[in-house]
Structure 1
Amino acid sequence: MIYLSCAKAGVQHTRQQLEVQRYLKKLNKPAIKSIKMRPSFQPFDLDDENEVALKKKTSSITQLWHQNGRCPWETIPIRRTKMEDVLRASSIERFGKKRSNAIPNSNSILRDGYIHEHSFALVNGQKYYGTSVFMDVWNPFVQEPGEFSNTQFWVVADPFEDQNTIEAGWHVYPNLYGDNRTRLFIYWTTDNYNRTGCHNLQCSGFIQVNNEIALGSSIYPISSYGGPQYGIDLSLFKEPQTGYWWLQYGKKTLGYWPSTLFSHLSYATSVLWGAEIINFKLNGKHTSTVMGSGHFGKEGHGKASFCSNIKILDEALTPADPQGVVAIAESPNCYDVRNATNFGDLGTHFYYGGPGKNPNCP
């Protein structure tokens, strides 16, 4: 069953936890009218070059809720939050939030014993005003409900202790959704994931203007090993007139983050693309949670996961190939990354992934 609503989302449960009920009423709001606003320019021309590279149109990626209808004009789709969704979280305050040190290259053991592991590529040292990337989509196995596996971009502004990020991609996150489906997601924070920010529309921040795409909804079809490769185009750019950070899904404008939301993100100091898993390290053993396709980047196209046609938006607000890209695998025996290259139909791209626990990753 797909719990999605364009109108008022009724709270359906039998338990009487009043605190959770009040929280659900804040989340499951009445129908929200779309703001009739669009960015003044769209710097990235997506889809066309990726269709050539993959022979699969990004538009063939659909959201399963479309099988049950569409939202009326001037409303937006919102995935309803249920009682059991909130109860899976450690607390109401932590529901829908990432944990601190979730940025790549931290690889630190958190106070609750979780480890974030990343395979990614990054650029820094300049002022960045946006990025675009094509990500092929998979359905990775996730071992424990509280673990997740994602592929995303990070647009980041330091300083570290008060880090601002905007993030978007796809993930499998059983503890957040109650299932193992591959879903579109966004995220943001202004204080290094401590108190601010959330996934999707679970807190105030992101302003959605699109009535066709539901954040947090499952996407289909997905890529298969040795078979067809499917993926999504995502782009983010800062509009000079308003300072808003606009997000696009393929050629569709999803919405924006207001500039007033952030304390440091007048521009990004680094941009990253890649994947992340959480490892519970149960009984001292590495998780079997899969990253990407579950196959190492060295296996290449059609087998490993990839990010391709990567662009950045420079100070002149012109799309450009990123320069000085560095590829990093924090746990290369568990999940690797092939160095980013720039050639052929895939443009700037890299392969990544892995199975997690294996003889070299006990």
Structure 2
Amino acid sequence: MMIQKEEKEELCVGISHLHLRLQLRLQRQLEGKPRGASKQNEEVQRLVVGFRGCFDTITGDLFDCVDMYKQPAFDHPLLKNHTLQLKPSNLPKGMKLAKSKPASFYGFNDTCPSGTVLIHRTQKQDLIESKLLRTQFREQVVDEDQIEERNHDSITGNWWITYNDELPLGYFPKELLSKMNDYANLVQMGGQVKSLSNVPSPPMGSGHPSNEGPNKAAYFIDIQFVDQSNNWFVLNPKSIFASVDIAGNLHGVIQTPYARFFFVTITGDLFDCVDMYKQPAFDHPLLKNHTLQLKPSSLPKGVKLAKSKPAYFYGFNDTCPSGTVLVHRNQKQDLKSKLLRTQFRAQADQIIEGNHYAIIGTPPAQFYGVYAKMATYKLPDLQAGQTSTSSIYLFGDAKSPTNMIMAGWQVSPVIYETSYPRFFTYWTSDYSDKTGCFNLQCAGFVSTTNIYGPGSFIPQFSTYGGEQKYLSILIARDSKTGNWWITYNDELPLGYFPKELLPKMNNYADIVQMGGEVKTPVNVPSPPMGSGHPSNEGPNRAAYFNEIQFLDQSNNWFVLNPKSIVLGADISNYYNISDNHYVDDKYVFAYGGAGGFK
């Protein structure tokens, strides 16, 4: 039965009288008591001191006005020393709050006194305490510390809620959300309903199907996300997935990839940490039923991996959570363009204008893997649109369409918007005609580590005329799964190219190439390659590939007749190869040049 207005007024008056009686009783109880009163008396005192009156709304609800410093939140033991924050320290860039509307707009017949907050008076205490009600609106696959849509205060760490672009209502204290001190991992939004067993479920949203469209279906609009710098950013729509469940609980939600955002030291790049089972690779239709492989089944005979280095060695200020992988967030939307796909083709029957190379190539054979150590250099003088790459190529067919995979290091302002050297991967199933991409920018390479990944900064460089630093790369076919694994610096299996994408490499690669390649816009002098010095300058000055070895079907290393290895450079006056020879059954060569061809 609904309580009438007169009864509510009497109830509020009665509570006021009760407040006075409690206060007098409490004072009598505390007379003569030691300084440490009982917890029960402390609780009574909090209720008495905090109460400031009550009033009802047009909906018939009762609200109490409670001193904001005595509100229920501060009963939590973790908030014992919490400092009340009265307003957000800042707002997302570009956001301005409108003037808040009067209380009557929100259905209140009065306002609480200044310095108090509204507390809705629930009549059924068992609803608050029951586990059923707490679990009623849990989102699927999220931790209790995750929230749906909030604004993280960059100074205090509290999570603020702002209502209707005008009213900062309050916040979730950081002390209660230990796993959200810096960021939220996941965002979900949508609808959810609860129904008792054998009772028809209630409507959701507008109560009409979502496919009825605008003005009929319920919509979420103007959805935006905030990054570490309080800037808005957008997500690739393909990374957002929808979920509809028809069971005891109904929900229709969209969910972002599992992600956190942080800066890479020195370079300033943003990386997302994405659930490894929801990484971009698995958007590919050929990988619909692919089983994620977490580590190689075996290694080449005699290979032992060293302990991987900590994240800060690779330039990161933190690590991704376990179960996630690093995905470089690239702002360039033209990464999938045909121009960029063809940028790193090895030499072809038809020369691509602006592409130049100095590489070695093997004769056709059955290659199950290859290993090499390549010197890394900083090349700071590249211009916009230029790229310089040093890499290993494996081909699945000498004829077109050709399967090809690559790994190595590159400097590419067009891809990364900086001139820092990066580790990279590339794949194509049709010689870069319609398929292929770098790193994790499209469905392809499967990453398996949260420490390092394609697109990451290379932390150590060689000094011209001084100490040489090397990047070692092992690309090897897994004998059990058929996937092509990449192992980084003799310590870290980074991930693999799935066999499903490389039908002409199911058993082995036909040809191996390695060396340098550059790309430059037409009429712009070509960039440096390798160390930026000619290959004939020799050790410590020219860039080298060292300790090159090839794998056979039994995971053993084998050597090639050096006379069968082909050297190729399209403009040898600018880029060339020299000092190629075997050292203890391991092949070596120097390559590169200063560039300047126009």
SS of the equivalent of 2:504 reads coil
Gaps of 5+ in 1: 52-56
Partner of 1:303: 541
User: Quick check: 1:29 aligned with 2:270?
Assistant: no
Return the alpha-carbon distance in structure 2 between the equivalents of residues 14 and 211 of structure 1. 25
Bigger radius of gyration: 2
Alpha-carbon distance between aligned partners in 2 of 1:44 and 1:96, rounded to the nearest angstrom: 40
Q: Give the unaligned 5+ runs of structure 2.
A: 1-182, 188-224, 242-255, 259-273, 278-291
Mapped pair 1:325 → 2:325: no
Contact persistence 2:372–2:545 (CA under 8 A): yes
Give 1:98-177 correspondences, 5 Å limit.
98-99=341-342, 102-104=345-347, 106=349, 108-109=351-352, 114-177=353-416
In structure 2, relative to structure 1, the CA distance for the partners of 1:95 and 1:173 (3 Å cut) is farther
SS in 2 for 1:312: strand
Higher relative contact order (CA 8 A, sep 6+): 1
Q: Offset of 1:75 from its aligned partner?
A: 1.7
Residue 253 of structure 1 and its aligned partner are, at CA, apart by: 0.8
Given that 1:33 and 1:74 are in contact with CA atoms closer than 8 Å, whether structure 2 keeps it comes out as: yes
1:167 is aligned with what amino acid? Answer: M
Report the equivalent of 2:337. 94
Q: What secondary structure, in the 3-state scheme, does the structure 2 residue paired with 1:145 have?
A: coil
Select which of 24, 31, 39 maps to 2:296.
Answer: 39
Could you tell me which residue of structure 1 aligns to residue 321 of structure 2?
A: 72
Instruction: In structure 1, give the amino acid aligned to 2:513.
Output: L
Over 3 Å off, 4+ runs: 5-16, 20-26, 33-36, 44-48, 57-65
Corresponding residue of 1:293:
531
Q: What TM-score, normalized by structure 1, do the two folds share? A: 0.81
Give a deviation string over 1:89-144, Cα, whole Å, max 9, x none.
3xx641894217812355613xxxx4211111111221111101101101124533
Going from structure 1 to structure 2, the CA distance change for 1:158 and 1:305 (only over 3 Å counts) comes to same
CA displacement at 1:63 relative to structure 2:
5.4
- Helix, strand or coil for the counterpart of 1:29? coil
Pairwise CA distance, 1:256: 1.4
Within the candidate set 409, 423, 428, 1:189 is matched to 428
Count of aligned residue pairs for this structure pair: 330
Q: CA deviation at 1:220?
A: 1.5
Is 1:269 equivalent to 2:510 in the alignment?
yes
Does the aligned pair in 2 maintain the 1:157–1:268 contact within 8 Å?
yes
1:355 has 2:583 as partner: no
Q: 1:32 to 1:104 in 2, by over 3 A?
A: same
Aligned to 1:54: none
Deviation, structure 1 residue 194: 1.3
- Cα distance, 1:44 vs. partner? 6.0
Q: Distance in 1 between the 2:226 and 2:239 partners?
A: 7
Give the corresponding residue for 1:257.
497
Return the structure number with greater helix share: 2
Q: CA deviation at 1:58?
A: 10
CA distance in 2, matches of 1:181, 1:218: 7
TM-score of the superposed pair, with normalisation by structure 2? 0.50
1:224 alignment counterpart: 463
* Secondary structure in 1 matching 2:400: helix
Cα distance between partner residues in 1 of 2:322 and 2:231 = 33
The match for 1:279 is 520
Alignment partners' CA distance in 1, 2:495 and 2:461:
25
Name the CA shift for 1:176/1:71 in 2 (closer, same or farther; >3 Å): same
Provide the rounded CA distance (Å) in 2 between the counterparts of 1:100 and 1:351. 23
Please tell me the residue identity of whatever aligns with 1:268: A
Distance 1:227 1:46, change over 3 A: farther
Find the aligned partners of 1:310 and 1:94 in 2 and give their Cα distance. 33
**Partner of 2:449 in structure 1?**
210
Q: Which residue of 1 aligns with 2:286?
A: none
Q: Deviations over 1:239-267 (max 9, x none)?
A: 12111111111221111122111131122
- In structure 2, C-alpha distance between the alignment counterparts of 1:157 and 1:99, rounded to whole Å: 17
Partner of 2:5: none
Which letter does structure 2 place at the counterpart of 1:197?
A: G
1:61 and 1:308, CA in 2 relative to 1: closer, same or farther beyond 3 A?
farther
Kept in 2, the 8 Å contact 1:7–1:32? The answer is no
Give the CA RMSD over aligned residues: 3.3
